[in-house]
Amino acid sequence: MTSQDFKSFSDLLKVRLKQELPGKEAQIQMAPRPIDERRFRENPNRPPRLGGVMILLYPDENQIHIPLMKRPEYDGAHSGQISFPGGKLEEVDSDLVETALRETHEEIGVPRDEIEVIGSLSELFIIASNFKVLPTVGLLKQRPVFKPDPIEVADVLTMSLDSLHDKSIRKVKEMHFPPYTIFSPYFEVRGEIVWGATAMMLSELAFVLSDVKASLR
């Protein structure tokens, strides 16, 4: 992929992100079954904490890639899961975009001044941890040198944007959370299961990218 190709793609994506987003319509495609509408509703008696994640796009080997990170095993709702770099809003952050930039630097070592923020996807409420998360979309001009935090990150995985439309990596896994059993759609990335909120955000990104690809034709 030439720098001009990446710029053309980036310019179209910027425009698309300023338009109405598919939101729940896209997110629900990768939501666990049976669909529980409560996962999209906040509890007014228990205001959610706010968080920001970074969907970082960069060109490499004629494709555009996204980094994901595997969290270490710990006693918490997201132990061992695959996610975007990100975390909760801190007092030092002026907004959730700043949260995403700060966490991306802290967790995978990408300097914030190298990232061009071009917009965001729809906020997503995560019922398991009572977080409302804003996915910020950022660009890098070239593949970064990842420097994962040894405490917060077990591994950095990458996936290409093209693979978001590859039906062979979209699968469903039966999961047991006694007394409940769910059937969760997921993306298989390098043998890892990308499900839940991260998969739902990737699903919306795939919808948006379909519009961008149509514009490029």
> In this structure, what CATH number is given to the domain that contains residue 46?
3.90.79.10
- What are the angstrom distances between the C-alpha of 149 and each of 15, 47, 52, 102? 33, 30, 18, 13
For 93, the domain range is 3-216
- In this predicted model, what pLDDT tens digit does every residue of 183-208 receive, in sequence order? 999 999 999 999 999 999 999 999 99
**Contact (CB, 8 A) for 71 and 151:** no
- In this predicted model, what pLDDT tens digit does every residue of 109-138 receive, in sequence order? 999 999 999 999 999 998 888 899 999 999
> Which residues, in sequence order, are CB contacts of 1 under 8 Å at separation 6+?
59, 62, 63, 64
Q: What is the pTM of this model?
A: 0.93
When divided into structural domains, the chain yields a total of: 1
Compute the C-alpha angle 169/175/176, nearest 5°: 175
